[in-house]
Amino acid sequence: MAAPMTWRRLVHSVYSPAIAGVFSRISDRLCRAQDRRRGSAVLLLAPLLAETEPAPRRVSRPTGSAGAQGSDGTCTHFQWMAEQVPAFRVPGAHIKILTSPDQFYQAMKARIRTARRRVVMASLYLGTGQLEQELVDCMEEALQHSKEDGRSADLKVSILLDYTRGSRGQVNSRTMLLPLLQRFGPQMRVSLYHTPDLRGLLRLLVPDRFNETIGVQHIKVYLFDDSVIISGANLSDWYFTNRQDRYMLLENCREVADFFSDLVEAVGDVSLQLQPDDSVSMLEGMVHPYKGNRQAFSAVARKRIMEVVSAARTRQQLLQHRSEEEEEEEGTSEGDTWVFPLVQMKPLGIQVDEQVTRRLLTDAGPDSTVYLTSGYFNLTRAYMAVVLGTGASYRILTASPEVNGFFGAKGVAGAIPAAYIHIARQFYNRVCQLGQQDRVHLHEYHRPQWTFHAKGLWYYLRGQDRPCLTLIGSPNFGYRSVHRDLEAQIAIVTENEALQGQLQEEQEMLYRRSSEVSDSTFEQPDRYVKLWVKLVTPLIKNFF
């Protein structure tokens, strides 16, 4: 199978010759400096490039153009992503797809127990049940062992949650973590992100149960030393038992882990810090999210977060340049898979994920197939226009009413499944009006006693029977994901046949439990939507 085009060529394709030359000279100097000293922050990453790996397979270089299809054009087809975000090249053999909530839960517990340097977890909230307590106990056990082994300064635990969701009720995420803060203060950090849009009179008037509709920290990243799980799942018991999501484990991918550790730290720096007495405070010099100036907070937060993205992108370009030089001399390639982190934080003026996702969908040409899934199907107008206006085939999977997370909820929230029925019917009718039923298909996920929360997509290029790209992470492709919340996902582009096979199996596993939507679907008695629900659906689309 063809290997990707060299990163040296990629750098020269992205930048002008003069700038590309600067990169080359900087990289050469860094390489020479390594023999003289070991203090460079960039060169400290050099051991990562020399980790023991299985013997690489010799591969030829692709010759396809940017519009090429099939395996020879995979790398060039998606090379434009490296122009916008960091690009991490990893062996596909280091990536494993987890398929069940229990696998996800057990993988986290096992890796927390064996962590030696860092545990970094970002989620909307931490639940308060027995399973969540066992997760906290694992952290306590790991921290205690580090002290007993005389490594008290080594293991650090950093938790990033949303302030509003994590503070709901008398027993909440904060009270679950307070014992760790009180016992392991120097090793423990709990950051609570508060959206700058919930302030003033609005903050006083919106009830606790609904204040998170204004905007939340929605990133789901779970990191243990040099391994990381990217998912859409929260740290709550039903995400560990009977709520279907997606979970991708990247083992021994230190550069990817470093990036997400830095990203969580950056968001944490502009968040409220939980104290051992359950009070909160901002780091010195940081603008308060709801007491300070709105524009000033967003500017500081955007600068801090984009510094992480920009630094990682530059560092990866330098390291990949050096790696490609060595590969050209040896004629081998160790990385067959690329990881592109995509961040979306519109309240802070960051919209990288939106830009990349729109282009990805726009470039999906005839004979390509996109399988797209969201637990809450609510495409933005921009995404919907792309889906209905391009030539690719789409199979869109969403939750049937009975597996919607709000099914059976009390009060206004109980109407949310019906609102999503109305949204799905509007979309289906639009597809039919445009005569695109043969190209765009809508599916509903069914599973008794389960709920559905999976999100992302699988991308099949023309002539391929397995996906070569996936998006996985926290975004739902809806209004909230794009405009209100902090989101992160990764795009994985791979030429590794085994990983492509895993992606195909994952996609087929989810779609096997679905049925295709037709006219008769909306004629069923349980699909009746009351008039008042239809009237409030535009509001629900923007806030849920």
Spatial neighbors of 153 by CB under 8 A, at least 6 apart, are: none
Catalytic-residue membership of 225: yes
CA distance 49 to 57: 17
Helix, strand or coil, per DSSP, at residue 158: strand
Q: Shortest CA distance to 176 belongs to which of 220, 127, 211?
A: 127
Could you give phi then psi for residue 16, rounded to 5 degrees? -65, 160
Strand 440-445 vs strand 227-231: parallel, antiparallel, or unpaired?
unpaired
Catalytic-residue membership of 453: no
Residue 143 amino acid letter: L
Could you give phi then psi for residue 478, rounded to 5 degrees? -105, -175
Among 162, 225, 258, 485, the one annotated catalytic: 225
Catalytic-residue membership of 220: yes
Among 77, 156, 194, 218, the one annotated catalytic: 218
Place of tokens 């694992």: 138
Helix, strand or coil, per DSSP, at residue 379: strand
- Sign of CA pseudo-dihedral 295, 301, 304, 307: negative
- Beta bridge partners, 250, equal 95, 228
Burial code (b: 16+ CB inside 10 Å, e: under 16) for 222-245 equals bbbbbbbbbbbbbbbbbbbebbbb
Cα radius of gyration rounded to whole Å, the chain: 23
CA distance 48 to 44: 9
DSSP category for residue 286: P
CA distance 465 to 89: 23
Among 94, 220, 441, 443, the one annotated catalytic: 220
Q: Shortest CA distance to 373 belongs to which of 465, 446, 477, 461?
A: 477
Contact 490, 360 (CB under 8 A): no
Sheet with 156-162, edge to edge strand ranges: 95-98, 247-250, 227-231, 221-224, 118-122, 156-162, 188-193, 272-274, 280-281
What does the H/E/C string look like for 412-453? Answer: HHHHHHHHHHHHHHHHHHHHHHCCCCCCEEEEEECCCCCEEC
Burial of 359 (0-12, 13-18, 19+ CB in 10 A): middle
CA distance 248 to 264: 18
Give the active site residues.
218, 220, 225
